[in-house]
Structure 1
Amino acid sequence: MKQKFYLFLAFVCFLNMPKMLAQEKTVSGTVVDADGAMPLPGVTVLEKGTSNGVSTDFDGNFSIEVNEEATLVFSMVGYKKQEIVVTGKSNVDVRLGLDTESLDEVVVTALGIKREEKTLTYAQQEIGEDEISKTRESNFVNSLAGKTSGLQLKQSATGAGGSSKIVLRGNKSIFGVSSPLFVIDGVPMVNNAGTSDNSVFNSTDSGDGLSQINPDDIKSISVLKGANAAALYGSQGANGVVIINTKSGEPGKLSGSVSSGVLFDKAIDLPDMQYRYGSVEGSDESWATEKSDYNDDFVEDFFDTGLQLTNSLMLSGGSEKSLSYISYANTISKGIVPENDYMRHNLTFKQTNKYFEDKLKITSRIMLTDEKIGNKPNTGYYFNPLTGLYLFPRDKNFNDYKENYEVFDEGRNMMLQNWFVDSDKQQNPYWVINNNSSENRVKRMIANLAVEYDINEKLKLQVRGNYDYSTNEFDKRIKAGTASTISHRNGRWIYRDLTSNQMYADAILTYSDRFGDFDLSAVLGGSYEKSVIGDGVDVDSDFYGLQYANIFNFQNLNKEVLVKQVMESRKEKQGLFANAQIGYKDMLYLDLSGRNDWSSTLAFTGNSSYFYPAIGATALLSEIVEMPSFIDFAKFRASYSVVSNEVPSFFTRPLNEIDSDGIIINTEKPFSELEPEDQKSFEVGTDWRFFGNRLGLDFTYYRIDNENQFIPLSAPAGSGYSVYYVNAGHIQNTGFEAAIHAKPIRTEDFEWESNVNFSSNKNEIIELHPELQGRYELSKSEGYALYINEGGSFGDIYVYQFERDDQGRILVNDEGVPQRSSEYEFIGNAEPDFMLGWNNSFTYKDFTLSFLIDGKFGGKAVSATEALLDGYGVSERSAAARDRGFVQVNAVDMDGNAVSEIDAETYYKAVGGRDGIMENYTYSATNIRLRQAALAYNFKFDEHVFFDQMNLSLIANNLFFFYKDAPFDPDRTFSGGNNFQSFDLFTVPIKRSFGFNVNLKF
């Protein structure tokens, strides 16, 4: 045995003899730019053929132990790679020149295909890693606001763990979706936003798939704004594509980073309320006329200081043949509403290997997420702690109900709610957060394998497979003692346990060659996708309740309660696609694309196939015509595409339902004549670069026509159905986008970089189905409605308004009550006229100051919260009117007599409250804010310190508004769908955040 061991040891020594005999030495030096003026930090210095490598420090210096005859490879993104043989050298100084061709190539397009930016025939913008991680948002999507033109972002108003809504170039579909497709490393991902009941009574938000991604794994984000850019994705890309490019390992010795960030959140812009008039005996309103001094801090004291804590670790390393990347992140958030918390664990592993002289490349990636959201606040009336908090009568002692939110009931032998009234609109806030609690748990795995093989220098084959699996469990336990109008006396249980999975695979053959003055880049491929979304169990005991109080399980459900097997969507789709780009003399480019899909959602229609063509052209004016020396680059581009919006599942064959008596019912008529929703998109634009790429200007005009909309109609009586669908309607979006990129100042010690993004979109409803008689209702409640009207625009708001005479004076009846219109009347649109973002970064030596100013201009916003506060007599307006003794108005009575004063209670109970005259609570949605600001410092370490560098940054989000008319944040959304846009009903207040982040690299 011992002899075998010695033989093995001798064999190992023999294999390593060349290394043992090789002499090693230390090579040092400095890497600077081509002019020799600026040191280059972060340059990778790698001993060729090994994993031995280092990076230059902040002064461009490096030191590395290498073999005597080694070759060093110096590389950095945006610079030309350089190799230097160091035989006989101990000191090497290197100058790296800019690689303009490489800069053009760092563009990821549809299906992960890389193209030179100058050849693109459509608008695209890229957001770098620093912009994504700068603000340390737990949901990275929120960091995109104001940083790309044409992108409109609205955060949900539901606290920690809430979802975000993104729309590119306006709303396009009435019943379908208008949100873009999200792609990770070229592969489409599932971004289901969970189950939501988007009503004024109980609007819930289960988060979204994007919030489950670790922002520290993201290298860059490419935004393909129109269907022209995303045609190769077919119907999925009809609303644009957001491509997430993840990090990979870096060649060289093991390196990594540790980041830790903390943000403290404070509620701001609370409603302006009064604390000097109490209630009349027996009332839950505060309409007393005698003034007193009541507790005025219980509302502000209710909100906690929120906390967002993020810790992450990243390790990478390997050789040019084998690269490894692994990361872990832990995110903890504590909302400003008590008991609202969020926790997420992310684990990512990515491995890249090359074989057969780098002809074969295999990349595998797995992303694991475990997310838990506790007690996310509802918006609307039910189960919302803010209704009872805001409407609480001022003469009562709130602390009595805070400290004793539940009391023992001897008759029922249990703790019940302690509150002064039994009402669905207001419960004890502390009862709601403790005894109407909820937990949402999501576990997700995304596994991906990509194989690339270079058949020859011109031909490459790529095959990818992706599996996305998640579970989503929602558990809401409403204890006995909750308001009787929204719960059974023994309690109510709402429970969902849903799974979602998506299998995706594609094979792509790419070819590139040059024939004299012509060059050709071609793509041919096919894809397969199969998904089942939201499949599982859904139960709501509702008013049927529980057999025994506060026992929340299936065995304790009353027999009348339905336990439903549900499925949100199920589909299978195969596609074939092709793309060819033909260039002439590197100055003219023609781009042709086509895709054909076969979809299960079109089953039983007689035609399950649809084709999408696209064409584009680019002319590099700076190559065609000799330009002045200050113009570096000029380009004109145009493109046109035809795609179809995604067809919802179960339209052609609706799912059956079983009622409580076991009878199978179906209220929707099968849509056997369904055709896909067509979208025709045209865009034209120009891109210019000046003064050595120090100034850039991009401009795009687009027109998008969506026809054949999916519209539900009421089925004729006696048909056996309540709803049937038709293809009808035509929505048009036109607009323009502009982006300015500038580096006005750049010296050895100081640099100013500035980016401006501008966009404007006009939406018009060209046509609806004749049966709708020119109008379709999206949502209506509380004196507010969203209607789709022929000749109008998506997002048109209608409200009850004052009845006025022909001189514009308010009409009042004989009791002095202001009269409201009999119908909802148009008052404005929820969408802005234009959006503007201005992003700046100032760097002086090792300091960097950055800030983002973001503005939305135009549009209207409606606050039902303010109406309720007025109706209940708790607003400062209602108190100021009582101080004066009246509300001053310009009105007339029914006999034409002038009326200038109305009693405060009479006026505000007529104008405010539920279904009030919402004209009075409609505001301009224009708002301009300092959205982000950060001050960072880079610390330098010498070679004796384990860490290479440290970045410390102070961060602030939502610092203040330069201008805002509405009493709430119009950029936050009550509903993640198309309903109730620019609408506020007891939504969680906006928060201002301050904190810091530390990043250590080694």
Structure 2
Amino acid sequence: MNKKSTSNPSLTALITVLLVLSPFLNTILEAVPPKRRTPRKHFRVQQTTVTGTITNPNDQPVLGATVRIADSNTGTVTDLNGTYRLPAQTGDVLVISAIGFKTERVTVGQQRTIDLQLFEDITQLEEVTLNAGYYTVSERKRTGSIEKVTAADIEKQPVSNPLAALQGRMTGVYIQQNTGLPGGDFNIRIRGTNSLRLNGNAPLYVVDGVPFPSASIKDSRVSSATVTSSPLNNINPLDIASIEILKDADATAIYGSRGANGVVLITTKKGSSGTVKFNVHMQTGTARIAHKMDLLNTEQYLQMREEAFANDNLTPTPANAPDLTVWDRNRHTDWQDQLLGGNAYMNNVQLSASGGNERTTFRLGGGFRNETTILPGSFGVKKINGLINLNHKSTDNRFTASASASFVHNHSDMMSGLLLFPALKLAPNAPELYDEDGNLNWADNTWTNPLAELEKKYKSNTGNLITNANLAFELLPGLELSSGMGYNTLFTKESQFTPLSSIRPTYRAFIPRSANQNTSSISTWIWEPQLKYKRKFGKLGMNTLLGATLQKTTNQFFVINAKGFNSDALLENMQAATTLEVYKDSETKYKYQAIFARLNFSYDDTYFINLTGRRDGSSRFGPGKQYGNFGALGAAWIFSNEKPFEQGSVLSFGKLRGSYGTTGSDQIGDYQYLNLWSPVAQPYQDQTGLIPSRLYNPNFGWETNIKMEVALDLGFFNDRLLFSSNFFQNRSGNQLVGLALPGTTGFTTIQSNLPATVENTGWEFQLNTKNVSSDTFQWNTSINLSVLRNKLLEYPDLEDSPYANTYVIGEPLSVFNGYRNTGVDSATGVYSFEDANGDGFLSFPDDVQVLGNQSVDFFGGIQNSFQLGNLGLEFLIQGVKQTGSSAEFSFDPPGFQSNQPTRVLNRWQNEEDVAHVQRFTSTYNDAAFKYYDLLVSDYTLVDASFLRLRNVSIAYDVPLPDKSNIGLRLYLQGQNLVTITNYKGLDPENPGVNEIPNLRQYTLGLQLNF
């Protein structure tokens, strides 16, 4: 639901202080020993004094270690030399504890001196292993910027696309869901927008070492009635073990040109040794639209229409106003509820088995997922998935092998959100959808029945196969030779049929029955041999990597259109058509090769240097431009290991790290440097000719991205409070854009490099706290905040380029240029605008000004997890501060035959009226044209910020007998439950009315392990 955002600064400050201090308070409380209950003694126990020295594994004294007698108030702390003195009795138990060390217990016997060596407590920083693609590194020792989400977080969200599980959980990573319909697409930006090309900002996706496509292979001419699809819908989220996102130069440079916009690494689940374990995971859920817009009712709507005709001095007729003259004026339909108010249902069943011995492990899994839609009709998406994984190592542990294969088949007849606009714009007194005979009601051809779109048929079958194998052999101690091989193919066959029943009767003479079909695929194979060497020389550690990549990607597209069918029943038989037209028949090949190296040094587990480099070769550039060199330097210093920070201090961990390097991009499509010829639109004397459509230019090369980062990581109270702050600056230059050409050349642009530079800067903050940690209750909190800024630093001759009215130097790429609205002219009753050049006329582009930008200023999330015995609760709140497009952007001029938001009632009616909305009009005149000028003015820029309860998960582990070896978990999950915003549209996550908004979902689930 939408509510106006309200806040209490004092309450907010108090909550913030308590949240920050909670780890400190809990640590102090835990340090206070419980009151000792003195037992009644029936015999005399000898009282003595125990002394000793407490040291660390390096035989250095531990200052401030607590030594106390269990279940008593008697205790002391060690001095500078690590020594202590404590009165005790024979049989007493000494409890020795210190921050950063494991707690030890010793029973007092006849000895008078008890010396003890404490062992370091490996914290979560050391336990968390991050996948950097070509190597792994612990959270403690990393030099780069890597974010991670594990299966534990993914499984708590009822999502079908892995990207949905990342929203609000990562710094520097903004993910926007584009539609609430199943199978929809997502936008992801890792540390901002780098390229001027919209299709040049996607990250690299890698699934188990195999590159995965980022763009849909569907064709808009075939799937125009469907949602834009995301390829990642063809990956089962419940098969994922972890998702890592690489952001800075140190983490991405080893991927070279492929890592310019960040890298998304997806690792699937593997088997574990032991007896065979079975897992059953079942989910069922429902979803519906969370919010509706406030629109005019029938009385208000008819008043608006009649006033519009009166303003225009026109008379309503059945031709220009059936809503006033023909349709029932007493009828009212809430079209939002009628067309978008249904319930969507989801059912998901996943089965898996894993096991093996210490040498060989396996995992088998498979499942079925079915999702329906809120739209009328039985449309939806069905997915079948399967996965197999095998791992083996030799008896001497020198040889290891692993192989995995996953397959997802996706069947969809999902129609799109084309019903969204009728739901908002249809007159509330529009006719019934069906006539008395149950057929579509055309109301004597006075309207276009919105359900006609659902008469169209769409079906697609998409398959995704990912296979990979890895072999590794230890040639010498520390020297390993390995080879990774992978293959991925994503293919689809989609068809759309337009029967006569979907066409308004008055148009059937001009619009024939038709069928479109698309058969496309993207196949990639990759081979990566690697040589690794790891050695320790006293305190000096060395870890090296040398490897190569050979990759080939083949894209195939075949799109045809068929017309001239005699019957709707023949639409699925292309041979029954009288006309066949090939829209697209192409095959492109992309070849990529590279060599890469990594050299990592560490000293005393305190100082770290990481050098990476890669030389890439791409078939997308011409001779002499095909190769590019990329590299980075990363360094880290764990200063908490230094002498000033002795064990026992409040600061348990401190690390300063930074990186600098370059990555590149070749995301321009295949064969862009070559001459391109296309068939003429109309054959001449039955002969098809060719015309040039692209000019030859082999001189453009790699787009480059220079990345810099400085970061500080801190841990307090034995890492119960972890804080991280990052500052980054990315500059993307040598932009691959279209260079403007004179019209006499016959071409408007030619692909080229320009020294245009785009800069992204930002601050990222992450806070993780263990607020309460006891045997019966745990409370953990994670807070992240990202503040990003984007700017076009330079663009030579921008004013003479095709982008002169799109970009502004010194402004973000999302800059909004347009007219400045000055309100409604009180004399004429129409919108007025600032005459920027003072010539007395409103003209384009002379009166266009920089008005603002449609961008995300900052975003973040707050996640809390509670565990009380067998009951767990977790919730995530996502916040976004942004400017977006007004929801009114997609409505017709007020007064037209189109419903409107209720705010239009505050309109101009008489001279000298002060109003926010111009006078109503029913036809295309000066008032209507002024309204369209308004849509390119600052009037459409609105605050689209929101605070959303993104996810809630309540789980209960059912207690069962220990000997049963059965685990049973029941849970309830909610998604997009509450949204607080000032935005007046359907969904602030997608400002403007273009797609079905995100749905509010409820899911019941069961996990059974045995």
Check whether TM > 0.5.
yes
Structure 1 residues 546, 658: closer, same or farther in 2, change over 3 A? farther
More displaced stretch, 353-362 vs 496-505: 353-362
Q: Is the 8 A contact 2:335 2:422 kept in 1?
A: no
Say if 1:538 and 1:321 are closer, same or farther in 2 by CA, change over 3 A. same
Match of 2:334 in 1: 297
The answer (yes or no) to whether the contact 1:141–1:211 under 8 Å persists in 2 is no
Which one-letter code corresponds to 2:830 in the other structure? V
**Residue type of the partner of 1:514?**
K
- In the aligned structure 2, how far is the partner of 1:914 from the partner of 1:440? 40
Q: In the superposition, relative to structure 1, how do residues 794 and 750 fare at CA in structure 2: closer, same or farther (>3 Å)?
A: same
Is the 1:867–1:914 Cα contact (8 Å) retained in structure 2? Answer: no
Q: Work out which of the residue numbers 313, 329, 350 in structure 1 matches 2:389.
A: 350
Summarize deviations over 1:876-929 as a string: whole Å, max 9, x none.
4267358x96799548xxxxxxx9984576998566579746544432121111
* Residue aligning to 1:669: 695
Q: Does 1:584 align with 2:618?
A: no
Deviation at 1:940, TM superposition (A): 1.7
- 2:800 pairs with one of 773, 783, 799: 773
Equivalent of residue 200 in structure 2, options 168, 173, 177: 177
Task: Give the direction of change, closer, same or farther, for the CA distance of 1:846–1:646 in structure 2 (3 Å limit).
Answer: same
2:215 partner amino acid? N
Residue 635 (str. 1) matches residue 655 (str. 2): yes
1:842 aligns with 2:880: no
Tell me how far 1:646 sits from its aligned partner.
2.4
Secondary structure of 2:696 counterpart = coil
More displaced 10-residue stretch of structure 1: 730-739 or 621-630: 621-630
Distance across 2 between alignment mates of 1:358 and 1:969:
55
- Cα–Cα, structure 1 residues 332 and 920, in superposed 2: closer, same or farther, change >3 Å? same
Cα deviation, residue 564, structure 1: 2.5
1:798 matched residue in structure 2: 817
Any gaps of 5 or more consecutive residues in structure 2? 1-30, 34-99, 103-117, 306-315, 834-841
Report the CA distance between 1:388 and its aligned residue.
Answer: 3.0
**2:952 corresponds to 1:933:** yes
Note if contact 1:768-1:774 (Cα within 8 Å) is conserved in structure 2. Answer: no
DSSP-derived class of the 2:886 partner: strand
1:575 aligns with 2:618: no
Letter in 2 for 1:1000: L
Q: 1:520 aligns with which of 509, 532, 542?
A: 542
In the TM superposition, what whole-angstrom CA distance separates every residue of 1:136-183 from its partner, at most 9, and x where no partner exists? 211121111000111111112261111211110001111252122122
Distance of 2:856 and 2:443 partners within structure 1: 44
2:144 is aligned, of 119, 122, 128, to 122
> What's the secondary structure of 1:776's corresponding residue?
coil
* Equivalent in the alignment of 1:739: 766
1:461 equivalent in structure 2: 481
Partner residue of 1:359 out of 398, 416, 420: 398
- Paired letter, 1:709: Q
Cα separation, 2, equivalents of 1:313 and 1:578 = 40
8 Å Cα contact 2:897/2:922 also seen in 1: no
Would you say the 8 A contact 2:200–2:667 is kept in 1?
Answer: no
**Residues 205-216 of structure 1 aligned to structure 2 (within 5 Å):** 205-216=227-238
Summarize the Cα distance change of 1:129–1:719 in structure 2 as closer, same or farther, 3 Å threshold.
Answer: same
Contact 2:335 2:426 in 1 (8 A): no
Matching residue of 1:282: 318
Instruction: Judge conservation of contact 1:775–1:790 (CA < 8 Å) in 2.
Output: no
In the TM superposition, what are the counterparts of 1:809-958 in structure 2 within 5 Å? 810-811=824-825, 816-819=829-832, 822-823=843-844, 824-864=848-888, 867-868=891-892, 870=894, 871-877=896-902, 880-881=905-906, 890=914, 902=919, 909=928, 912=931, 916=935, 919-943=938-962, 945=964, 948-958=966-976
Structure 1 range deviating more: 467-476 or 870-879: 870-879
Correspondence for 1:725: 751
Task: Tell me whether 455-464 or 646-655 shows the greater mean CA deviation.
Answer: 646-655
Q: Secondary structure at the match of 1:231?
A: helix
Q: 1:354 to 1:631 in 2, by over 3 A?
A: same
The answer to whether the Cα contact below 8 Å between 1:228 and 1:640 also exists between their aligned partners in 2 is: yes
CA contact (8 A) 1:272 1:876 kept: yes
CA contact 1:738–1:758 (8 Å) conserved in 2: yes
1:607 paired with 2:628, answer no
* Aligned partners of 1:938 and 1:951 also within 8 Å: yes
Q: Which stretch shifts more, 298-307 or 387-396?
A: 387-396
Provide Cα deviations, 1:606-625, integer angstroms capped at 9, x if missing partner: 23211111111111111134
Per the TM alignment, residue 226 of structure 1 is displaced from its structure 2 partner at its CA by 2.6
Q: Secondary structure at the match of 1:429?
A: coil
2:679 corresponds in structure 1 to 658
Letter in 1 for 2:1003: G
SS of equivalent to 2:831: coil
Q: CA deviation at 1:250?
A: 1.2
Distance in 2, Cα, partners of 1:914 & 1:479? 38
CA distance in 2, matches of 1:419, 1:139: 44
Structure 1 residues 223-622: aligned runs within 5 Å:
223-276=245-298, 277-278=301-302, 280-282=316-318, 293-303=330-340, 304-339=342-377, 340-378=379-417, 384-400=418-434, 404-406=438-440, 420-421=445-446, 427-433=448-454, 435-480=455-500, 481-482=502-503, 489-533=511-555, 535-540=556-561, 551-559=571-579, 561-567=581-587, 569-602=588-621, 604-622=622-640
Q: State whether residues 214 and 329 of structure 1, in contact with CA within 8 Å, keep that contact through their aligned partners in structure 2.
A: no
Asked if 2 retains the 8 angstrom alpha-carbon contact of 1:475 and 1:496, the reply is: yes
Deviation at 1:213, TM superposition (A): 1.0
Per-residue Cα deviation, 1:78-109 (whole angstroms, up to 9, x for no partner)? 999xxxxxxxxxxxxxxx99862895264234
Deviation of 1:559 (Å): 4.3
Q: Superposed, which structure 2 residues align to 1:81-120 within 5 Å? A: 100=122, 104=126, 106-120=128-142
Q: Distance in 2 between matches of 1:356 and 1:831?
A: 57
Deviations along 1:766-811, whole A, 9 cap, x unmatched? 122426537617xxxxxxxx92222221112234553x4xxxx544
Q: Structure 1 pair 810/145, CA: closer, same or farther in 2 (3 Å)?
A: same
Specify the code of the residue in structure 2 equivalent to 1:817: V
Residue 984 and residue 937 in structure 1: after superposition, are their counterparts in 2 closer, same or farther (change >3 A)? same
Cα gap change, 1:538 to 1:202, in 2 (>3 Å): closer
C-alpha separation between the residues in 1 aligned to 2:273 and 2:967? Answer: 18
Closer/same/farther in 2, CA of residues 869 and 690 from structure 1, 3 Å limit: farther
Q: Percent identity?
A: 21
Does 2:737 correspond to 1:711?
Answer: yes
- Aligned partners of 2:613, 2:706: CA distance in 1, in Å? 14
Q: Residues 403 and 914 from structure 1, CA distance in 2 versus in 1: closer, same or farther, beyond 3 angstroms?
A: farther
1:131 matched to 2:131? The reply is no
| Equivalent residues of 2:278, 2:353 under 8 A apart | yes
1:293 CA drift (Å): 4.5
The answer as to whether partners of 2:184 and 2:228 remain within 8 angstroms in 1 is yes
Secondary structure of residue in 1 paired with 2:694: coil
- Aligned partner letter, 2:338: D
What amino acid sits opposite 2:458 in the alignment?
Answer: S
Q: 1:105 to 1:389 in 2, by over 3 A?
A: closer
Quote the Cα distance in structure 2 between the aligned partners of 1:968 and 1:996.
26
Distance 2:765 2:564 in 1: 56
- Contact 1:453 / 1:460 at 8 angstroms: preserved in 2? yes
Q: Calculate the TM-score normalised by the size of structure 2.
A: 0.79
From the superposition, tell whether residues 326 and 402 of structure 1 become closer, same or farther in structure 2 (CA, over 3 Å).
farther
Shift in alpha-carbon separation, 1:667–1:635, aligned structure 2, 3 A: same
- Following superposition of structure 1 onto structure 2, how do residues 20-35 of structure 1 map, counting pairs within 5 Å? none
Larger Rg: 2
Q: CA deviation at 1:699?
A: 0.8
CA root-mean-square deviation? 3.3
- Which residue of structure 1 lines up, in the alignment, with residue 113 of structure 2? none
Post-superposition CA distance 1:420-476 (Å, at most 9, x none):
447xxxx4221101x223122201211111111122331112201001012111211
2:784 aligned to which of 726, 743, 757 = 757
Aligned to 1:959: 977
Between stretches 819-828 and 266-275, larger displacement belongs to: 819-828
Going from structure 1 to structure 2, the CA distance change for 1:619 and 1:611 (only over 3 Å counts) comes to same
Structure with more contact order per residue of length (Cα contacts < 8 Å, sep ≥ 6): 2
Change (3 A) 1:721 1:874: closer
